[in-house]
Chains A and B, each alone.
Chain A
């Protein structure tokens, strides 16, 4: 058992922190305020190799392990949860299924530009009537000679409209239920594929969340990932991995809020003393810190299991459940400790609290995580 980070991880953290401080933090407030996707940051993320951290070099990646990638999402999210989710959705939900389930040709054609950051990726499972009940898919893909024709729509798709490559789920055989779902790669400029309504959101407002519309969208059969009928399994495994990314995002948000609060309570004075002097403040901070550290252990352990090719779905669910709830609790306390200022946009904790909420919802709500954990316990 070893809790020490490797030297390479420590050096990566130094890089991530420097990058976040200079390239991410200065824009966090503005992209939230104006709901602007951080295009310039994306260019720099690409240049410094953030867009394909866990993929092998031969596919354009940095050749890192899962932890190297998780530490990046965590650190970016300390300053800006939007930037964290852009990287996480791109890597875990689009790059990963192509890497894990795609053919060699698909990897060379799609993973290489994704991992090198030339192209941005997204993942589409959720539909208006298929949220937590993902099996209720209504988007269909019909085989037509060498092509598939896709019809239907997806909602709440992260990176939609900006992404160049989408991994989508569609029914190829309705009679088979979840076993009739297949996974496809769709390029953004495919005729018949359009971007619908953009959501106005509570948090992670710089990220682009839109509807995808498929109207007789024709894609070559080579874009089927794996075999027909494997889509649901691919989606679920992808989300297992994605959850570690979201858990890392939640962890980063919580840590960022704690850091802001520690600075604030040393500075802010009431009754002639800094807030940090009061025991209530100290106890709150102690609880925040302890929960963050517990969440961190769960997140890093899930990353370790996935890296080691050991079963990790259960640990990923626990990591996401606990880290996201910790993020919500810590950011709420952070706002409270900031008092009236905490409720204003003058301090970042207000944004962090809004950003934290989504981590309890997307890539499986807290309730879904509990279903996964309980099912493992009772099987």
Chain B
């Protein structure tokens, strides 16, 4: 079985802080990680590798620094890694991103494509299903469990109020939730191999066949008009009053904020 896992390198948003004075984002020193939903997808693929010797290729589109995320995936046990990087891809929205990734995947052999449900920096949950559409594959998103059933997969697809058990034939695309599993660590030998013995294939625009009008900022139907922070938090007011008075103050505030 050949599996392609699409991963994204993201800033660890739990480490992102706002400058209390300016209210702007402090990006400096924020570590980059493999997006958690993607990491679970990778773990699911590696379990299939352990089980049936599946061949696992990780694919990412991003700046050259995304190399680190791919090395990490190799150090966890992935067999191959491809970095899709080109200035022409810069500024891609989910439509252009999925179009580019799909073009790269078309160059590869696959039975299963795995993408994380959503990335923690964008939270859109769009790229996986859009890749499936560009490749004309069945998709199952929000997957929390995966079992093999011959040349098909049985997937637990979760909803807010329950789940469906879905059988889908390969080739197909699934999007995974981080709750699906606890991803393994890299291994010491894996890290060393990832840097010394394994290669990351770097693909640029010339390596894929895609309509240039569908790429990057020009190929993106959506544009960011502006971005802003909610602003710095101003210190609140301190009240040293009796309990009854305090209760009244709290209730007024709750009303003001439409909480009651």
**Which of A's residues lie within 8 Å of B, judged by CB?**
6-8, 11-12, 14-15, 18-19, 47-50, 53, 57, 61-64, 68, 72
Find out whether the CB atom of A63 lies under 8 angstroms from the CB atom of B195. Answer: no
Q: Which of B54-78 contact A (CB under 8 A)?
A: 68, 71-72, 75
Partner of A12, one of B68, B188, B196: B188
**Interface of chain A, main secondary structure:** helix
Question: Smallest CB–CB gap between A25 and chain B, Å?
Answer: 14
Find out whether the CB atom of A62 lies under 8 angstroms from the CB atom of B75. Answer: no
Partner of A49, one of B68, B72, B188: B188
Find out whether the CB atom of A8 lies under 8 angstroms from the CB atom of B185. Answer: no
Contact A50 to B195, CB < 8 A, known contacts A11-B68, A11-B75, A15-B75: no
Q: Give CA–CA (A11, B186) in the complex, Å.
A: 9
Q: Give CA–CA (A19, B191) in the complex, Å.
A: 14
Q: Which B residues touch A61, using CB under 8 A?
A: 189
Q: Which B residues touch A12, using CB under 8 A?
A: 188, 191-192
Q: Give CA–CA (A8, B195) in the complex, Å.
A: 6
**Which of B's residues lie within 8 Å of A, judged by CB?**
68, 71-72, 75, 185-192, 194-196
Q: Give CA–CA (A64, B190) in the complex, Å.
A: 10
Partner of B189, one of A7, A11, A49, A72: A49
Minimum CB distance partner of A72 in chain B: B188
Partner of B185, one of A7, A15, A57, A64: A15
Q: Which B residues touch A68, using CB under 8 A?
A: 188, 192
Q: How many A-B residue pairs have CB under 8 A?
A: 56
Find out whether the CB atom of B194 lies under 8 angstroms from the CB atom of A11. Answer: yes
Find out whether the CB atom of A57 lies under 8 angstroms from the CB atom of B189. Answer: yes
Q: Which A residues touch B192, using CB under 8 A?
A: 8, 12, 62-64, 68
Q: Which B residues touch A15, using CB under 8 A?
A: 75, 185-188, 191
Q: Give CA–CA (A18, B31) in the complex, Å.
A: 13
Find out whether the CB atom of A11 lies under 8 angstroms from the CB atom of B185. Answer: no
Q: Which B residues touch A7, using CB under 8 A?
A: 68, 71, 195
Q: Give CA–CA (A90, B251) in the complex, Å.
A: 63
Closest 5 pairs between A and B when the two form their complex, measured CB to CB: A49-B188, A62-B189, A8-B195, A62-B188, A49-B187
Question: Smallest CB–CB gap between A266 and chain B, Å?
Answer: 14
Find out whether the CB atom of B195 lies under 8 angstroms from the CB atom of A49. Answer: no
19 further contact pairs, Cβ within 8 A, besides A7-B195, A49-B188, A68-B192: A6-B195, A8-B195, A11-B71, A11-B72, A11-B75, A11-B191, A12-B188, A12-B191, A15-B75, A15-B186, A15-B188, A19-B185, A48-B186, A48-B188, A57-B189, A63-B189, A63-B196, A68-B188, A72-B188
Find out whether the CB atom of A11 lies under 8 angstroms from the CB atom of B187. Answer: no
Question: Smallest CB–CB gap between A377 and chain B, Å?
Answer: 37
**Interface of chain B, main secondary structure:** helix
Minimum CB distance partner of A57 in chain B: B189
Q: Which B residues touch A64, using CB under 8 A?
A: 188-189, 192
Q: Which B residues touch A49, using CB under 8 A?
A: 187-190
Which of the listed residues B187, B188, B190, B192 has the most CB atoms from chain A within 10 Å of its own CB?
B188
Find out whether the CB atom of A8 lies under 8 angstroms from the CB atom of B191. Answer: yes
Question: Smallest CB–CB gap between A164 and chain B, Å?
Answer: 21
Question: Smallest CB–CB gap between A199 and chain B, Å?
Answer: 31
Q: Give CA–CA (A15, B68) in the complex, Å.
A: 13
Q: Which B residues touch A63, using CB under 8 A?
A: 189, 192, 196
Q: Which A residues touch B186, using CB under 8 A?
A: 11, 14-15, 48
Question: Smallest CB–CB gap between B44 and chain A, Å?
Answer: 19
Q: Which A residues touch B71, using CB under 8 A?
A: 7, 11
Q: Give CA–CA (A182, B117) in the complex, Å.
A: 62
Q: Give CA–CA (A62, B188) in the complex, Å.
A: 6
Q: Which A residues touch B196, using CB under 8 A?
A: 8, 63
Question: Smallest CB–CB gap between B7 and chain A, Å?
Answer: 15
Minimum CB distance partner of B195 in chain A: A8
Question: Smallest CB–CB gap between A288 and chain B, Å?
Answer: 21
Question: Smallest CB–CB gap between A320 and chain B, Å?
Answer: 24
Q: Which A residues touch B188, using CB under 8 A?
A: 12, 15, 48-50, 53, 62, 64, 68, 72
Which of the listed residues A6, A50, A64 has the most CB atoms from chain B within 10 Å of its own CB?
A64
Question: Smallest CB–CB gap between B249 and chain A, Å?
Answer: 24
Q: Which B residues touch A19, using CB under 8 A?
A: 185
Minimum CB distance partner of A69 in chain B: B188
Interface pairs (21), CB distance under 8 Å: A6-B195, A8-B192, A8-B195, A11-B72, A11-B195, A12-B188, A12-B192, A14-B72, A15-B75, A15-B187, A47-B187, A48-B185, A48-B186, A48-B188, A49-B187, A61-B189, A62-B187, A62-B188, A62-B192, A63-B192, A63-B196
Q: Give CA–CA (A12, B190) in the complex, Å.
A: 10
Question: Smallest CB–CB gap between B185 and chain A, Å?
Answer: 5
Q: Which A residues touch B190, using CB under 8 A?
A: 49
Find out whether the CB atom of A48 lies under 8 angstroms from the CB atom of B72. Answer: no
Minimum CB distance partner of A8 in chain B: B195
Q: Which B residues touch A48, using CB under 8 A?
A: 185-188
Question: Smallest CB–CB gap between B243 and chain A, Å?
Answer: 25
Question: Smallest CB–CB gap between A373 and chain B, Å?
Answer: 32
Q: Which B residues touch A72, using CB under 8 A?
A: 188
Minimum CB distance partner of A45 in chain B: B188
Q: Give CA–CA (A72, B188) in the complex, Å.
A: 9
Q: Give CA–CA (A53, B187) in the complex, Å.
A: 10
Q: Which A residues touch B72, using CB under 8 A?
A: 11, 14
Q: Which A residues touch B195, using CB under 8 A?
A: 6-8, 11
